[in-house]
Structures are given as C-alpha cells and as structure tokens.
Amino acid sequence: ETGVTQSPTHLIKTRGQQVTLRCSSQSGHNTVSWYQQALGQGPQFIFQYYREEENGRGNFPPRFSGLQFPNYSSELNVNALELDDSALYLCASSGGGRYGYTFGSGTRLTVV
Amino acid sequence: KNEVEQSPQNLTAQEGEFITINCSYSVGISALHWLQQHPGGGIVSLFMLSSGKKKHGRLIATINIQEKHSSLHITASHPRDSAVYICAVIGSGGSNYKLTFGKGTLLTVNP
C-alpha cells in the first residue's frame, strides 16, 4: 500500500502571494486532514475532508481553503500569504478517524 | 489550558536509560496516537491505542481511559531515539474525529 505523499517538500513564497499544497492519501483512505505546525509547536488542526466535503475546521481564517478530489487526494490553498504562515504543513489520511491516521512528510512553507 | 498536555517538554538521557513521556487529555477520545518527529521532518505514527498497552521493540505505550492518561516508555534508550515525541488524541465522534496534538516532548539521548 502507498503512504501519504505531499508536494512540494519545500516552498518559498512572498507575502501576499497565494500557494497550493498537495496531498495524496493512502490507498483506501477517504478522509484527509491538514495541520499547521509552527516552529517549536505542536501541529494545529486546519480542516478535514471526508468524501470531498469539509467536515471539520479549526481556528483558521477563510483564506485557508481546501479541496478533496474523487480519488481522495487533497489540496490546501492559502491566499494573501502572511509571514506568520511560515510553517510545516502536514497532511494525514484515514480510513475513518477512529482507525488512526497515516501522515505525510510535510511541506515546509517559508513566507518572506 | 490545552486539551492535550505532555510532560516533560524536554528530556535529556544517557544511552541505555529507561524513558517515560506522559500525556494527559481533557476531552473524550476514541483513540490516541503516539507520534515521532525528527528535526525538520514529517511525522511517523508509533502507536495507536484505545485501551491497555502496546509494545513494539523497545517502545511500550499504555493508556488509562478512566484517568485520561497515556505514557510512552522507551527501554534501553539509544541516540537514534532522539526526536520529538507527540501525543495526539482522536476525538470521539461525528466531525470530532480530528486529531488534537500535544506540544511534544523533545528527547535527546546522549551516547
């Protein structure tokens, strides 16, 4: 079985720009969730998608948006980037949250 | 107060020592993950457990649902165990199947 793959691994963007991060879920998993991890902190929940619908959202502004595709891969879009958006963005997939999660290696976003 | 609290925040040990990292949570959960993260790296799930105890090699994880507490133990620690260990709980239903993370415990094992 394939794991969770995130792309790109590293990214540098300028304040005000927009960015799209991608995540391919593990085979057989229909749930994808996204997390932001600032340096030295634990990951914070951004949102979760189940069968192409958002079914949970953390305390992040609307400029953080997402999509899940019919193959259950997912995108995280961030508009109007701010310096504080610099972080490691993690994606995790699940076949149903109670069955546990598989994590990607993350995308390191730097906003300058 | 965070929903998931870990202790200690930082831990330094000598190779061969027995290590314990603790996690307490204040919400209802369906399960709990212990995760490992190397500096700058992604996250690997070490265990997912909802009751009792699990063992994998030198790692042991226990959970007490009534007390809302879990522990991760590392026996015969080794420098390659140096990493951040994170406790994450899975909510107990509906849209609450999201993960809530502790802030992590930075473990350094010296040779």
pLDDT value of position A39: 86
Q: What are phi and psi of B29, to 5 degrees?
A: -130, 160
pLDDT at residue A3 is higher than 90:
no
- Both tokens of residue A80? 């109007």
Give me the mean pLDDT over the B49-67 stretch: 95
**Cross-chain Cβ contact B101/A101 below 8 Å:** no
Which position has the higher pLDDT, B27 or B110?
B110
A35: contact with B, CB 8 A cutoff: yes
The tens digit of pLDDT for each residue in A71-96 reads: 999 999 999 999 999 999 999 998 86
pLDDT value of position A55: 85
- For residue B33, give the nearest of A31, A96, A100 by CB distance: A100
> What three-state secondary structure class fits B87?
strand
**Cross-chain Cβ contact A100/B44 below 8 Å:** no
CA–CA–CA angle B44, B103, B79 (5° rounding): 55
Residues of A in contact with B97 (CB under 8 A): 31, 48, 56, 94, 96-98
B28 pLDDT band, cuts 50/70/90, is: confident
Q: What are phi and psi of B38, to 5 degrees?
A: -85, 155
CA–CA–CA angle A65, B41, A77 (5° rounding): 10
pLDDT value of position A111: 97
pLDDT value of position B106: 95
Contact in structure between A34 and A66 (CB atoms under 8 Å): yes
**Cross-chain Cβ contact A104/B42 below 8 Å:** yes
Q: Which residue of A has its CA nearest to B45?
A: A102
A25: contact with B, CB 8 A cutoff: no
pLDDT value of position B94: 58
The tens digit of pLDDT for each residue in B62-99 reads: 999 999 999 999 999 999 999 999 999 988 765 556 78
Contact in structure between A19 and A81 (CB atoms under 8 Å): yes
pLDDT at residue A64 is higher than 90:
yes
A3: contact with B, CB 8 A cutoff: no
